[in-house]
Amino acid sequence: MKRRAFSAAVAAAIAVAAPAGADGGVDEVLACVRKNAPLAAIEQTVELVSADRDGREVTRAAKLYAKRGAEGLGRVMLRVEEPADLRGTTFLVVQKRDGVEMYVYLPELGKVKRVSARQVRGRLLGSDFSYEELERVYGQAGAVGAVRLPDGDRAGRPVFVIEAAPPEGSAYAKVVTAVDRETCVPLEIAFYAKPDAPGKVLSVDPSRITREGDVWVPRLVRIRDLEKQTESRLETHAIRVDPDLSDSMFTPASLEMKR
C-alpha cells in the first residue's frame, strides 16, 4: 500500500510537539497533522534565499531528499547545486531512537564531518535557518512535552496552537506552533530563546500550499530573525512524491559520492 509522502518544508514540524500519550487536546492536533504526516519519501528542488537588513539577497539552489523508514525514523539530505563554489556541499540529518545525528560534507575538504551540538545552532549556508531549525522543519527533532494553547488565527485562517519544550541542549526555551485546521500544515513556528519573546519566527504562506497526491505541501517557508532583522526563505519549485530512494543514500559514506 502506497504511503503518504514525506511532506515538504514544514508539514511535519509539529512532530516536535509531543510524545505519544500527551493530553487529549494535543492529541487532537497531532491527529490532524498525522493525516498529512511523512510516512514515505519525497524529492524536492528548492531555493534557499537569504536577505540582510538592507534587502540584499543571496540564493542557493539545492536538491532535498527525505525518507521515513519502517521504524518511523526520518532522514533528510540537502545537497547544494548552485552557486558553483558550493556545489556538492551536503547536509544529512538522521533520526535515531536516542536522538538525532547530523553530518556535513564539504567538497573543499573532501570528507564528512559530524556536526557537534554547538554547531547545530549555527547558520545553515549563511541563512537564518540553523541546523536545529532544519531538524524541526523536517520533523526530525524531539520534545520533552507539550500543552495545547487556545486556538487562534494566522493569515486569516483558523489554527490549533501548541507549546513544546525542546530537548536538552536546544538553543530555545520553548517552541510554539500554529497548525492550519484545514490542511494540517503548520503555518507558524515561534522559537523562544527567552520565555517572554520569540527570537525567530518561521511562517508558511497559505496561498502557496498545494495538494500533491495525498498531502498538502507548503511551497514557501520564511524564517525571520527578529533580533538581527534579517530573513530567509525556502522555496520549492519541483516535487516528486514517493520516489524510490535507497536507504544507502542517507548514510555519511554516501555524502562523498557524486550524484
Is pLDDT at 9 greater than 70 in this prediction?
no
93: in domain: yes
120: in domain: yes
5: in domain: no
159 pLDDT band, cuts 50/70/90, is: very high
33 pLDDT band, cuts 50/70/90, is: confident
Alpha helices, DSSP H only, in the chain? Answer: 24-34, 131-137
Q: Which residues of 167-179 are buried (b: 16+ CB within 10 A; e: fewer)?
A: eeebbbebbbbbb
Is pLDDT at 168 greater than 80 in this prediction?
no
In total, how many domains does the chain have? 1
Residue 104 in contact with residue 115, Cβ under 8 Å?
A: yes
7: in domain: no
1: in domain: no
Please identify which residue in the block is written with the cell numbers 519544550.
165
- Residue pLDDT, tens place only, 182-232: 999 989 999 998 888 999 999 999 999 998 888 888 899 999 999 899 999
Q: What's the confidence (pLDDT) of residue 17?
A: 31
Q: What is the average pLDDT score of the chain?
A: 80
For residue 9 the three cell numbers come to: 518544508
Please identify which residue in the block is written with the cell numbers 512524491.
241
258 pLDDT band, cuts 50/70/90, is: low
226: in domain: yes
pTM of the predicted structure, to 2 decimals = 0.79
- Residue pLDDT, tens place only, 65-110: 988 776 777 888 999 999 999 999 999 988 777 767 889 999 988 8
Share of the chain above pLDDT 70, in %: 80
236: in domain: yes
Residue 47 in contact with residue 61, Cβ under 8 Å?
A: yes
**Residue ranges making up the domain that contains 223:** 13-256
| Displacement of CA 83 from its chain's centroid (Å) | 22
Neighbours of 224 (CB within 10 A): 18
228: in domain: yes
Give the residue-averaged pLDDT of 6-29. 47
The CA–CA distances, whole Å, from 202 to 10, 133, 158, 229, 231 equal 9, 9, 17, 13, 10
CATH (domain of 247): 2.50.20.10
Q: How far apart are CA 30 and CA 13, in angstroms?
A: 11
18 pLDDT band, cuts 50/70/90, is: very low
Q: How far apart are CA 161 and CA 241, in angstroms?
A: 28
More confident residue, 126 or 150: 150
123 pLDDT band, cuts 50/70/90, is: confident
